Amino acid sequence: MPDYLGTLLLLLALELVLGVDNIVVITIIVSKLPEAQRKVARILGLGLALVARLAMVAGFGFILQLEGDVINGMSVHDLILLAGGGFLLWKAVREIHHTVEMIEHHGEDRASPKGAFWSAIAMIVALDLVFALDSVITAVGLTDNMYVIWAAVILSFVVLMFAAGPIGEFVIKNPTFKILALSFLVTIGVVLVMEAFHIEVPKAYMYLPMGFATLIQLLQWRLATNQARKRERLKAKKEAAADA
Protein backbone atom coordinates (compact mmCIF):
# COMPACT_ATOMS: atom_id res chain seq x y z
CA MET A 1 0.00 0.00 0.00
CA PRO A 2 2.76 2.57 0.82
CA ASP A 3 4.40 1.76 -2.53
CA TYR A 4 1.18 2.50 -4.38
CA LEU A 5 0.72 5.76 -2.43
CA GLY A 6 4.25 6.89 -3.26
CA THR A 7 3.74 6.03 -6.93
CA LEU A 8 0.42 7.91 -6.93
CA LEU A 9 2.07 11.06 -5.51
CA LEU A 10 4.92 10.80 -8.02
CA LEU A 11 2.52 10.41 -10.95
CA LEU A 12 0.33 13.25 -9.65
CA ALA A 13 3.36 15.55 -9.47
CA LEU A 14 4.33 14.53 -13.03
CA GLU A 15 0.84 15.22 -14.35
CA LEU A 16 0.66 18.62 -12.62
CA VAL A 17 4.04 19.71 -14.00
CA LEU A 18 2.98 18.71 -17.50
CA GLY A 19 -0.40 20.33 -16.82
CA VAL A 20 1.28 23.76 -16.91
CA ASP A 21 1.75 23.21 -20.65
CA ASN A 22 -1.93 22.36 -20.95
CA ILE A 23 -3.01 25.57 -19.20
CA VAL A 24 -0.87 27.66 -21.56
CA VAL A 25 -2.26 25.90 -24.63
CA ILE A 26 -5.87 26.09 -23.42
CA THR A 27 -5.49 29.79 -22.61
CA ILE A 28 -4.30 30.61 -26.13
CA ILE A 29 -6.97 28.47 -27.78
CA VAL A 30 -9.96 29.87 -25.86
CA SER A 31 -8.74 33.48 -25.97
CA LYS A 32 -10.35 33.86 -29.41
CA LEU A 33 -13.78 32.83 -28.10
CA PRO A 34 -16.36 35.23 -26.61
CA GLU A 35 -15.89 35.58 -22.86
CA ALA A 36 -19.18 33.78 -22.17
CA GLN A 37 -17.95 30.67 -24.03
CA ARG A 38 -14.44 30.43 -22.55
CA LYS A 39 -15.38 28.68 -19.31
CA VAL A 40 -17.65 26.19 -21.10
CA ALA A 41 -14.93 25.49 -23.69
CA ARG A 42 -12.32 24.92 -20.96
CA ILE A 43 -14.54 22.57 -18.95
CA LEU A 44 -15.87 20.63 -21.94
CA GLY A 45 -12.45 20.43 -23.62
CA LEU A 46 -10.75 19.22 -20.44
CA GLY A 47 -13.58 16.77 -19.75
CA LEU A 48 -13.30 15.19 -23.19
CA ALA A 49 -9.50 15.23 -22.92
CA LEU A 50 -9.79 13.39 -19.58
CA VAL A 51 -11.97 10.68 -21.14
CA ALA A 52 -9.55 10.37 -24.07
CA ARG A 53 -6.54 10.16 -21.74
CA LEU A 54 -8.20 7.48 -19.58
CA ALA A 55 -8.93 5.52 -22.74
CA MET A 56 -5.27 5.94 -23.71
CA VAL A 57 -4.20 4.53 -20.33
CA ALA A 58 -6.58 1.60 -20.78
CA GLY A 59 -4.91 0.87 -24.12
CA PHE A 60 -1.39 1.14 -22.69
CA GLY A 61 -0.33 -2.05 -24.47
CA PHE A 62 -1.07 -0.42 -27.82
CA ILE A 63 0.74 2.77 -26.78
CA LEU A 64 3.90 0.82 -26.02
CA GLN A 65 3.77 -0.61 -29.54
CA LEU A 66 3.87 2.93 -30.95
CA GLU A 67 7.65 2.81 -30.44
CA GLY A 68 8.10 0.54 -33.48
CA ASP A 69 9.64 2.11 -36.61
CA VAL A 70 7.19 3.27 -39.25
CA ILE A 71 9.16 5.48 -41.64
CA ASN A 72 12.79 6.64 -41.75
CA GLY A 73 13.45 5.32 -38.25
CA MET A 74 10.49 7.23 -36.81
CA SER A 75 7.66 5.59 -34.88
CA VAL A 76 4.01 6.63 -34.68
CA HIS A 77 4.88 8.18 -31.34
CA ASP A 78 7.65 10.24 -32.98
CA LEU A 79 5.36 11.33 -35.82
CA ILE A 80 2.70 12.47 -33.35
CA LEU A 81 5.29 14.49 -31.43
CA LEU A 82 6.57 15.99 -34.69
CA ALA A 83 3.08 16.98 -35.82
CA GLY A 84 2.14 18.38 -32.40
CA GLY A 85 5.39 20.31 -32.05
CA GLY A 86 5.11 21.71 -35.56
CA PHE A 87 1.54 22.84 -34.92
CA LEU A 88 2.51 24.56 -31.65
CA LEU A 89 5.38 26.38 -33.37
CA TRP A 90 3.12 27.58 -36.18
CA LYS A 91 0.32 28.60 -33.82
CA ALA A 92 2.58 30.37 -31.31
CA VAL A 93 4.67 32.30 -33.85
CA ARG A 94 1.50 33.35 -35.71
CA GLU A 95 -0.17 34.53 -32.49
CA ILE A 96 2.94 36.45 -31.38
CA HIS A 97 3.06 38.23 -34.74
CA HIS A 98 -0.65 39.06 -34.66
CA THR A 99 -0.53 40.23 -31.03
CA VAL A 100 2.55 42.45 -31.44
CA GLU A 101 1.44 43.93 -34.77
CA MET A 102 -2.21 44.12 -33.58
CA ILE A 103 -3.45 42.22 -36.63
CA GLU A 104 -7.06 41.07 -36.57
CA HIS A 105 -7.84 37.41 -37.23
CA HIS A 106 -10.09 38.07 -40.22
CA GLY A 107 -10.26 34.44 -41.23
CA GLU A 108 -11.32 33.43 -37.75
CA ASP A 109 -13.81 36.28 -37.51
CA ARG A 110 -15.68 34.88 -40.53
CA ALA A 111 -16.07 31.51 -38.84
CA SER A 112 -19.42 30.95 -37.12
CA PRO A 113 -19.36 31.19 -33.30
CA LYS A 114 -20.49 27.56 -33.10
CA GLY A 115 -17.78 26.44 -35.51
CA ALA A 116 -15.09 28.37 -33.61
CA PHE A 117 -16.29 26.85 -30.32
CA TRP A 118 -16.10 23.24 -31.50
CA SER A 119 -12.82 23.91 -33.27
CA ALA A 120 -11.38 25.10 -29.94
CA ILE A 121 -12.69 21.96 -28.21
CA ALA A 122 -11.10 19.72 -30.85
CA MET A 123 -7.72 21.49 -30.54
CA ILE A 124 -7.77 21.22 -26.74
CA VAL A 125 -8.41 17.47 -26.88
CA ALA A 126 -5.93 16.80 -29.70
CA LEU A 127 -3.06 18.75 -28.13
CA ASP A 128 -3.74 17.25 -24.72
CA LEU A 129 -3.29 13.79 -26.24
CA VAL A 130 0.04 14.90 -27.75
CA PHE A 131 1.21 16.06 -24.32
CA ALA A 132 -0.18 12.91 -22.72
CA LEU A 133 1.86 10.43 -24.76
CA ASP A 134 5.08 10.71 -22.77
CA SER A 135 3.35 10.97 -19.38
CA VAL A 136 1.21 7.89 -20.05
CA ILE A 137 4.19 5.85 -21.26
CA THR A 138 6.16 6.98 -18.18
CA ALA A 139 3.25 6.11 -15.88
CA VAL A 140 2.91 2.63 -17.39
CA GLY A 141 6.64 2.16 -16.89
CA LEU A 142 6.38 3.09 -13.19
CA THR A 143 3.48 0.82 -12.26
CA ASP A 144 1.20 -1.79 -13.76
CA ASN A 145 -1.66 -0.82 -11.43
CA MET A 146 -4.18 0.92 -13.66
CA TYR A 147 -6.17 2.23 -10.69
CA VAL A 148 -3.14 4.21 -9.47
CA ILE A 149 -2.58 5.72 -12.94
CA TRP A 150 -6.27 6.56 -13.39
CA ALA A 151 -6.38 8.18 -9.91
CA ALA A 152 -3.34 10.35 -10.74
CA VAL A 153 -4.84 11.43 -14.07
CA ILE A 154 -8.25 12.26 -12.57
CA LEU A 155 -6.81 14.19 -9.60
CA SER A 156 -4.50 16.22 -11.86
CA PHE A 157 -7.42 17.11 -14.12
CA VAL A 158 -9.48 18.29 -11.13
CA VAL A 159 -6.64 20.67 -10.20
CA LEU A 160 -6.31 21.74 -13.83
CA MET A 161 -10.04 22.40 -14.07
CA PHE A 162 -9.90 24.93 -11.22
CA ALA A 163 -6.53 26.48 -12.16
CA ALA A 164 -7.08 26.90 -15.91
CA GLY A 165 -9.84 29.51 -15.55
CA PRO A 166 -8.20 32.10 -13.26
CA ILE A 167 -4.77 31.70 -14.85
CA GLY A 168 -6.22 31.82 -18.35
CA GLU A 169 -8.29 34.96 -17.76
CA PHE A 170 -5.30 36.68 -16.13
CA VAL A 171 -3.10 35.92 -19.15
CA ILE A 172 -5.77 37.12 -21.58
CA LYS A 173 -6.20 40.44 -19.73
CA ASN A 174 -2.44 41.07 -19.57
CA PRO A 175 -0.89 41.13 -23.07
CA THR A 176 2.70 40.86 -21.80
CA PHE A 177 1.83 37.60 -20.05
CA LYS A 178 0.18 36.41 -23.25
CA ILE A 179 3.46 37.01 -25.13
CA LEU A 180 5.30 35.13 -22.38
CA ALA A 181 2.85 32.22 -22.62
CA LEU A 182 3.24 32.13 -26.40
CA SER A 183 7.02 32.11 -26.00
CA PHE A 184 6.62 29.06 -23.77
CA LEU A 185 4.64 27.38 -26.54
CA VAL A 186 7.50 28.05 -28.96
CA THR A 187 9.89 26.39 -26.48
CA ILE A 188 7.58 23.43 -25.98
CA GLY A 189 7.10 23.06 -29.75
CA VAL A 190 10.87 23.01 -30.33
CA VAL A 191 11.35 20.41 -27.59
CA LEU A 192 8.60 18.18 -29.04
CA VAL A 193 10.19 18.36 -32.51
CA MET A 194 13.63 17.54 -31.07
CA GLU A 195 12.22 14.58 -29.15
CA ALA A 196 10.56 13.34 -32.33
CA PHE A 197 14.09 13.05 -33.78
CA HIS A 198 15.29 11.29 -30.59
CA ILE A 199 17.17 14.33 -29.26
CA GLU A 200 16.49 14.25 -25.53
CA VAL A 201 16.16 17.60 -23.78
CA PRO A 202 16.38 17.54 -19.96
CA LYS A 203 13.10 18.96 -18.68
CA ALA A 204 14.99 21.12 -16.15
CA TYR A 205 16.55 23.02 -19.07
CA MET A 206 13.05 23.96 -20.18
CA TYR A 207 11.10 24.47 -16.97
CA LEU A 208 13.71 26.38 -14.93
CA PRO A 209 14.13 29.22 -17.49
CA MET A 210 10.35 29.30 -17.97
CA GLY A 211 9.82 29.59 -14.22
CA PHE A 212 12.49 32.30 -13.91
CA ALA A 213 10.98 34.28 -16.81
CA THR A 214 7.53 34.02 -15.20
CA LEU A 215 8.89 35.27 -11.86
CA ILE A 216 10.55 38.28 -13.52
CA GLN A 217 7.35 39.09 -15.42
CA LEU A 218 5.30 38.87 -12.21
CA LEU A 219 7.69 41.29 -10.48
CA GLN A 220 7.46 43.72 -13.41
CA TRP A 221 3.66 43.46 -13.39
CA ARG A 222 3.61 44.10 -9.63
CA LEU A 223 5.87 47.14 -10.06
CA ALA A 224 3.71 48.56 -12.86
CA THR A 225 0.56 48.00 -10.78
CA ASN A 226 2.03 49.79 -7.75
CA GLN A 227 3.24 52.69 -9.92
CA ALA A 228 -0.24 53.06 -11.45
CA ARG A 229 -1.84 53.10 -7.99
CA LYS A 230 0.66 55.70 -6.79
CA ARG A 231 -0.12 57.94 -9.78
CA GLU A 232 -3.85 57.61 -9.07
CA ARG A 233 -3.34 58.59 -5.41
CA LEU A 234 -1.24 61.62 -6.37
CA LYS A 235 -3.85 62.65 -8.94
CA ALA A 236 -6.62 62.32 -6.35
CA LYS A 237 -4.64 64.46 -3.86
CA LYS A 238 -4.06 67.18 -6.47
CA GLU A 239 -7.73 67.22 -7.41
CA ALA A 240 -8.71 67.42 -3.71
CA ALA A 241 -6.25 70.28 -3.16
CA ALA A 242 -7.56 72.12 -6.21
CA ASP A 243 -11.16 71.77 -5.03
CA ALA A 244 -10.19 73.09 -1.61
Domain edges within the chain: 2-201
C-alpha dihedral sign at 175, 157, 126, 18 = positive
Residue 206, pLDDT score: 73
Give the DSSP per-residue string, 97-113: HHHHHT---HHHHHS-H
Between the alpha carbon of residue 50 and those of residues 44, 110, 127, the distances in Å are 10, 31, 12
Rounded to whole angstroms, the Cα distance separating 1 from 13 reads 19
Q: Phi-psi bin for 178: left (phi > 0), alpha (psi -120 to 50), beta?
A: alpha
pLDDT tens for residues 207-227?
788 778 888 888 988 898 899
Helix (H) or strand (E) holding 42: helix 35-58
> What residues contact 11, with CB distance under 8 A and at least 6 apart?
139, 142, 143, 148, 149, 152, 153
Residue 33, pLDDT score: 80
Nearest 10 degrees: Cα torsion 95, 96, 98, 99: 110
Rounded to whole angstroms, the Cα distance separating 159 from 154 reads 9
Residue 96, pLDDT score: 81
> What residues contact 183, with CB distance under 8 A and at least 6 apart?
92, 96, 213
pTM of the model: 0.64
74: β partners: 71
Digitized pLDDT (tens) for each residue of the chain, 244 residues in all: 556 677 777 777 767 666 666 777 777 788 778 877 888 888 888 888 888 878 877 776 565 566 667 777 788 778 877 887 888 788 778 878 877 776 655 545 445 667 788 888 888 888 777 777 666 766 665 666 778 878 888 888 888 788 777 877 777 677 777 788 778 778 878 888 888 888 887 767 777 887 788 888 889 888 988 998 999 989 888 888 887 6
Residue 119, pLDDT score: 84
Residue 18, pLDDT score: 62
Residue 189, pLDDT score: 81
Contact 37/113 with Cβ under 8 angstroms? Answer: yes
Contact 125/52 with Cβ under 8 angstroms? Answer: yes
